[in-house]
Structure 1
């Protein structure tokens, strides 16, 4: 790799590092693992930097490397988790509702398979189109749609199972009143 290409890569990392770290944080729940994931992806991308003809696609390439790396790590992990009937409550450090919702969502994302999680992250957090997501993950647009549908249904089911009784009753009351209005 020529000196100019090294500078191009360094400039790319300097300008895109924060956004790429956010993507990594959405792919793996632990902040330290997210940093490791990004660093590993950057090292792998550095070796192929000159092969990326259109540098505008570097983010997509790097996200794909992160997804592949995360999948490799997931497959290589030791299963030390113990299944349980009840999931632990999500902890809230600062008490704000927005942070609590985000923490709960990050926790609930753990129930998804890696492929489902990747589709949800790219479609909803990265706001990529179905076609862009399909290209990034190497699957058809139809597979992205069906995977996203199943993943969102699973997330909805998981969130409903964790919903406090008061909120569930409140929501049920709103739905009942809505049905009464429709019947009238």
Structure 2
């Protein structure tokens, strides 16, 4: 069975899924945007798990493009997968790091046995990645991962906060090239 790749306009923290992907900062200790919302709505258990990760494996923070899982606290999910997206640069191609966020998040999700995974539009907020390009990279990377392991997931969902982001991901999803 091949996983469905779907789009939803809404709030990531309100999604029911086995794993929610958090567009985290490298500190893993919360922040603004999606990261802040995940920590606020998920409650103190997520922060406690992130602090434990910082005290053990990630003393210098989670590297850009990597992913790690914690509890989902009060969210309607079993796990939160934290990934650090790259800051967009006009002078340096960092698209491989953005693709890595999606690949690594799916790798972690598969390792957890998660059948449904919900992603935000990673790096498109304060990290300023242009929406159309981020959508192209995200959708292409997830499509490739699902083609390589078609039985790992039932659904991978992109949860887009507004109509503009939804439109960008809808165009990327429609593009088969």
Greater relative contact order, per chain length (Cα 8 Å cut-off, separation 6+):
2
- TM-score, normalised by the number of residues in structure 2: 0.27
Higher-Rg structure is 1
Compare the two structures and name the one with the higher helix fraction: 1
